[in-house]
Structure 1
Amino acid sequence: HPLDVFRRVIEVNLIGTFNVLRLCAAAIVNNTPNADGERGVIINTASVAAFDGQIGQAAYAASKGGIVSMTLPIMRDLARDGIRVCAIAPGIFDTPLLGALPESVRETLPAQVPFPPRLGRPTEFAQLAQAIVENPMLNGEVIRLDGGIRMPGK
């Protein structure tokens, strides 16, 4: 990647995530704690590329890997304030961005997912986010939501 492209991807994906997270934490700390002392939960979005970056994805993989890597230490920082932190690392999901790919490429994607052999659905992402919100023992975790996919190097 040219350095300016790499820097931009890091700025948007990693630094942008951190900035939103810190602003959310500053607001959440003012919430009234529940019976467990919890004030709220922050859920970040990483990607399977954080673990299985492909050729040409150095910037993207690094940016999402940064989100994965900051989840645990930020959870440790915010636990004293009653704030939980988790991240979801989705695989291949049916999103508008994916919809912009040529149909010939889109048709090959479901076969890469071991089971179920299809693209993830936005509702499945939402269900996991809801489960994280509802389960106070989920904290400091990065959860892959990917149907078992492991991205090849190419």
Structure 2
Amino acid sequence: MDITGAAAVVTGGASGIGAATVRMLAARGAKVVVADLNEAAGVALAREVGGSFVKVDVTSTEDLVAAVDEAESLGPVRVLVNSAGIGWAQRTVGRDGRYASAADLDAFKRVVAINLVGTYDAIRLAATAMSRTEPLDTGERGAIVNLSSVAAFDGQIGQAAYSASKGGVVGMTLPVARDLAAIGVRVNTVAPGLVDTPIYGEGEASEAFKANLAQGVLFPKRLGGPSEIASMIVEAVTNSYLNAETIRVDGGIRMQPK
């Protein structure tokens, strides 16, 4: 699918995998809306790539509508990348046997609200805008790519909330792709492994920590780079025969229980 002149929305687009994706989509000729809570980084990136920034909390339908409306002002909306997400780790049961020490249910709900419900809300809104666009000669109107995680398959101790949310993204990929086939929109999911982003911090201790994590990667024995994940996302956008799939990009890692 040719995205030259098309409009794209990237949630969580101000940093990490999202930012790398924004740059690659722009390099392919798309007009990109950076949808993120980080205004300073988002505005700077939008200026860099000639796109737009919209401050978005993905738990707000109003914010998501604003991002999609902004994209429609830039061109035909053909691309959505759902990169916004948060992590959370807590064991299901505490050590002292009290109900109060069991996992924080509100935290579980928040992770699901952002990672899963927010992803679906963005899909239903962006796909609605795509349905109003003229199809390309191939019959395509657009492509949607969601970000899951290997934790959807290999969730570690304490990752119940995160794994549930990312597993939900995997689980809805096929049915949503089936839904949107009627309007010529493809849906795929990319499940990254361990990716070297600022979440790990900086300095000697950080590098040692990342080196230890990398030992679990089959090959190459290192963390992935944001651009390596973004490359697969852009492939999923532009490859017209890739649909309803979840693709692991993880160096062959299979996460251990802890």
TM range (shorter): over 0.9
Quote the Cα distance in structure 2 between the aligned partners of 1:96 and 1:17. Answer: 23
> Which of residues 111, 118, 136 is equivalent to 1:9?
111
- Equivalent pairs, count: 154
Relative contact order, higher structure (CA 8 A, sep 6+): 1
| Alpha carbons of structure 1 residues 66 and 92: separation in structure 2 relative to 1, 3 Å | same
When Rg is computed on C-alpha atoms for both structures, the one with the higher figure is 2
Q: CA deviation at 1:106?
A: 2.0
Give the gaps of 5 or more residues in structure 2. Answer: 1-102
The correspondence of residues 68-147 of structure 1 with structure 2, limited to 5 A, is 68-99=170-201, 103=206, 104-147=208-251
TM-score, normalised relative to structure 2: 0.57
Quote the Cα distance in structure 2 between the aligned partners of 1:52 and 1:100. Answer: 27
Quote the Cα distance in structure 1 between the aligned partners of 2:110 and 2:202. Answer: 21
Q: CA deviation at 1:105?
A: 2.3
The code of the aligned residue for 1:150 comes to R
Q: CA deviation at 1:66?
A: 0.2
Deviations 1:50-100 (A, max 9, x none): 000000000000000000000000000000000000000000001122337
Deviations 1:2-40 (A, max 9, x none): 211111111111111111111111111122211221001
Quote the Cα distance in structure 1 between the aligned partners of 2:192 and 2:145. Answer: 13
**SS at structure 1 position matched to 2:212:** coil
Q: CA deviation at 1:126?
A: 1.5
**SS at structure 1 position matched to 2:120:** helix
In the alignment, does 2:229 pair up with 1:150?
no
Quote the Cα distance in structure 2 between the aligned partners of 1:135 and 1:99. Answer: 35
Say which is worse superposed, 102-111 or 76-85, in terms of deviation: 102-111
Q: CA deviation at 1:131?
A: 1.2
In the alignment, does 2:158 pair up with 1:33?
no
Quote the Cα distance in structure 1 between the aligned partners of 2:211 and 2:188. Answer: 32
Give the gaps of 5 or more residues in structure 1. Answer: none
| Percent identity between the two aligned chains | 53
**SS at structure 2 position matched to 1:79:** helix
Q: CA RMSD in A?
A: 1.4
Quote the Cα distance in structure 2 between the aligned partners of 1:92 and 1:121. Answer: 9
